[in-house]
Structure 1
Amino acid sequence: MIDRLRTEDHPVLTGLVALVSVGLVVGLVLGGVALGATRFLGIGEDPSAETVSDDVDFYLPKPSPTDGPSGPLITLAPSEDGGESQSQPAEPEESESEEPEQDEITLSAGQTSVGVMENIDLTGVYPGGEGSVLQVQKFASGGWQDFPVTAVVSNETFSTFVQTSFQGVNRFRVVDNDTGTASNEIKVTVG
C-alpha cells in the first residue's frame, strides 16, 4: 500500500523515470547498431593499414600573378540587316585612340534586343580599376538613375546582367562612384 501511495502521489516523477529508462534503452540499442555498422564498413580501422589513398599526394602550388587579356573583351553588335556586318575583315588601324586610356571604362551588351524581363548581359573592361564596384545606371526621365545592380572589377574586366520591363530602347552605363568615371552608354531594345 505504501508503494502504491508513492507512485500515485508523484505521477510526474514516475513519468520522468519511465522516459529516462526508455531513452536509455533506445540509446543503447542504437549505439550497438552504429558500432556494428562501423565495424562492418571498416570505419575507424587501424590508420597504419595501407590503402589506395595513401599513394595519392595533394599538392597545391603557390599562387603567382598571371598576365590578363591583352586587349578589351568586347562583343560586337550585329548589323542592321541581320547579316554579316562586313563582307571583308577590316584591317586594324594602329592608333593610340583605339586603346582605352587608363581609368576609361568600356561597356558592351551581349544582346541588342530582348523580351520583357529577359537577361541583358553587360560586360566590359576597366583598366586600372581592379577591385572597383561599378554601379549600373539607366537613362530615364531625362537623366541617369542608379539601377539596382552592381559589378565588381576583377582582372580589369567585369560582367553582370540586368532585366527590365520598360519596353522600347533602354540606355545603360556603369559608373565608378569612387572616381566619378562613367562608361560609354549602350542601347538595348526591350519588347
Structure 2
Amino acid sequence: MADGEDRPVLTGLVALVGVAVVVGLVLGGGALAATQVLGLGEDGGSAESTSAESLYLPTPSKTPDSKDPAFTLAPGDEPTREESPTESESPDDEIVLTLGQPEVGPMQNVDLAGVYPGGEGAILQVERLAGDDWVEFPVTASVSGESFSTYVQTGQLGENKFRMRDTDSGKVSNVVTVTIG
C-alpha cells in the first residue's frame, strides 16, 4: 500500500497548502511586477521638498491703512451709514459694515461685509432692530485679515436695520438698512 493511501485527509491538506503557496507566489510576483511597471511605491527622490512639490505661502505683510472697505460695490451703490459708533471709540478700531444690496425679496441673501481694523479673530454677532431694541440675529461672522463677511435671510417685510456687535468688547458697527419685499 502506498504512503498516501493510509492518510487521505493529511494528503489532501498537504496538497491544498502546496497549491495555496504556489498561487500566493504567482499572485505576489504579479503584484510586484505590476508595481514596478506602474512605478508605484517608488521613493521619488530626496527627503527635501522642492517648490514644485509644496505649497508656496508668501510672507505676510501689513497692508496700508484705509478707511475704505477692501471691496467695491456696484457702481452708484454707496454703503448706508445711519449711526456711527460712540465718541469714545477711535477710528482705528471702528467696525465698518457695508450692505451688498439695498433691496431683496423675502428669504433672499442679504450680504453683509466690512472691515474691523485691529479686530483680528473677533466674533461679530449680527443684530437686527426690532422696535426700539437690538436683538441678536442667529448669524455670526469671524474677522480674518481685518475683514468679515456673512449673509442673512429674513422674511420680515419692509425696512430692516442691521448692525454687527463684537461679542467680546461690545463695540458696534454702523447701521445698514435693507428693504425686504
Q: Does 1:104 align with 2:61?
A: no
TM-score scaled by structure 1?
Answer: 0.60
Q: Does 1:175 align with 2:165?
A: yes
Residues paired across the two proteins, number = 149
Q: CA 1:156/1:42 → structure 2, altered by over 3 Å: closer, same or farther?
A: closer
Identity %: 48
Matched residue, 1:185: 175
SS at structure 2 position matched to 1:34: helix
Q: After TM superposition, where is structure 1 displaced by more than 4 Å over at least 4 residues in a row?
A: 29-33, 45-48, 54-62, 74-78
Matched residue, 1:42: 39
Matched residue, 1:113: 103
Separation in structure 2 between the aligned mates of residue 138 and residue 111 of structure 1, nearest angstrom: 16
In the alignment, structure 2 segments of 5+ residues that lack a partner are 1-6, 8-16, 78-89
In the alignment, structure 1 segments of 5+ residues that lack a partner are 4-20, 49-53, 79-83, 86-99
Give the AA of the match of 1:115. G
The within-5 A match list for 1:122-141 is 122-141=112-131
Q: CA 1:64/1:106 → structure 2, altered by over 3 Å: closer, same or farther?
A: closer
Matched residue, 2:68: 72
Q: CA 1:31/1:176 → structure 2, altered by over 3 Å: closer, same or farther?
A: same
- Aligned alpha-carbon RMSD (Å): 3.9
- Relative contact order higher in (CA < 8 Å, ≥ 6 apart): 2
Separation in structure 1 between the aligned mates of residue 39 and residue 112 of structure 2, nearest angstrom: 53
SS at structure 1 position matched to 2:129: strand
